Amino acid sequence: MQLCDINTVRELMEKYGLTLKKSYGQNFLINPEVPRRIAESSRSFADCDKPAGVIEIGPGVGALTQYLCQEYDKVLAIELDRGLIPLLHEALGEYDNYKVLEADFMKTDLASLIDEHFRDITDNGGTVSICANLPYYITSPVIMKIFESFEPDRKIPLSSVVVMIQLEVAQRIVSRPGSNEYGAITASIGLYADSKKLFDVSPGNFLPPPKVRSAVVSMIPHGGIKEIYPDFTGEKNEIAEFSESVRETIALAFGQRRKTLINSMSSKYSKEKTLKVLEQCGIRGDIRGEKLSSYDFCKITHMLKYI
């Protein structure tokens, strides 16, 4: 079924008593090469010789889901809109390797979800990925929900997180310390994964064309805080507490971007203590949060709270 054909989708929506604007949003993918390329990119990060599963967040009418079904051994699509579920079953009728779960992704237990639905994949040495076309207004909460769903003392059990998002947000996610785009979301994601922009998606690939450009980004989990900051040692609960403290430091640092780190941290730590820690770390006292890497935030937090 041509799920990037607007007429096909309109017929499906009408058949199930749904309206395109209400249930799918303003912008509809009309170029099948975009979801095909997203699915291929997602699968490329998993071992081609081993089984692989993928979780799709918000499949909509299945434009991306159909290509994920072609690339992966198993697809779990999480859809909040109950009305879209029977439509998806018809739209994806030619595939037998998918399941649609009616749920709010933000309220799911992701670790348990993987264990429940992909045990046959992981028990055979395979991996699980996450792939989605995310609305810009919920991009950051969804991404942080993914990475914060797992125990911080071990590597996140995902081969990749590949998402299509607004270009402006993509640029923030993949930016480097010191750049104008660098922010709290960049430093926070850096605690869990390495990010890279894969390709841009122009407005002409949608109907109607949106006012903003989009981009596809990959986030590949690394070893977490234990890898990027091995100086902190502790038991599982201590690592969890430290991870939370680092995220709090990042939030404080970017709460008011124009303030120096010393001033932005003053609601929790004295200026004298913060300055002393920065000096011990070899960091200038007038530095701002956007100049600091995820590693820097780990080191500063360690010194402030534990030493």
Q: Where are the alpha helices (DSSP H) in the chain?
A: 6-15, 20-24, 33-44, 65-71, 84-91, 110-117, 119-122, 139-147, 167-174, 184-190, 225-228, 236-253, 261-264, 271-280, 294-306
Which range, of 55-59, 222-226, 255-259, averages the lowest pLDDT? 255-259
Amino acid (one-letter) located at 26: Q
Q: What is the CATH number of domain 227-306?
A: 1.10.8.100
Q: Alpha carbon 200 to chain centroid distance?
A: 17
- How is the chain split into domains, by residue range? 6-223, 227-306
pLDDT band at 197 (very low <50, low <70, confident <90, very high): very high
Q: Is the pLDDT of residue 25 over 60?
A: no
pLDDT digits (tens, 9 = 90+) for 103-158: 999 999 999 999 999 999 999 999 999 999 998 889 999 999 999 999 888 889 99
Percent of the chain with pLDDT over 70: 97
**54 burial via Cβ count (<10 Å: 0-12, 13-18, 19+):** buried
Q: Is the pLDDT of residue 27 over 80?
A: no
| Residue-averaged pLDDT of the chain | 93
- State mean pLDDT over 174-181: 95
pLDDT digits (tens, 9 = 90+) for 216-256: 999 999 999 999 999 998 888 999 999 999 999 999 999 88
For position 154, what pLDDT does the model report?
84
Reply yes or no: is the peptide bond before residue 208 cis, omega within 30 of 0. Answer: yes
Q: What is the CATH number of domain 6-223?
A: 3.40.50.150
Of 187, 173, 178, the residue nearest 251 (C-alpha): 187
Which comes out higher in pLDDT, residue 207 or 240? 240
- Angstrom distance (rounded) from CA 130 to CA 33: 19
For position 216, what pLDDT does the model report?
98
Percent of the chain with pLDDT over 90: 83
85 C-beta neighbours (distance < 10 Å), count: 15
- State mean pLDDT over 265-281: 93
Q: Do domains 6-223 and 227-306 have the same CATH topology?
A: no
pLDDT band at 276 (very low <50, low <70, confident <90, very high): very high
pLDDT band at 195 (very low <50, low <70, confident <90, very high): very high
**Cβ–Cβ under 8 Å, residues 187 and 229:** no
pLDDT band at 176 (very low <50, low <70, confident <90, very high): very high
For position 21, what pLDDT does the model report?
56
For position 257, what pLDDT does the model report?
77
- State mean pLDDT over 82-95: 95
- Angstrom distance (rounded) from CA 56 to CA 130: 6
In this structure, are strands 161-166 and 214-221 parallel, antiparallel, or unpaired? antiparallel
Which range, of 75-89, 99-113, 237-251, 254-268, averages the lowest pLDDT? 254-268
Q: Is the pLDDT of residue 71 over 80?
A: yes
- State mean pLDDT over 284-299: 95
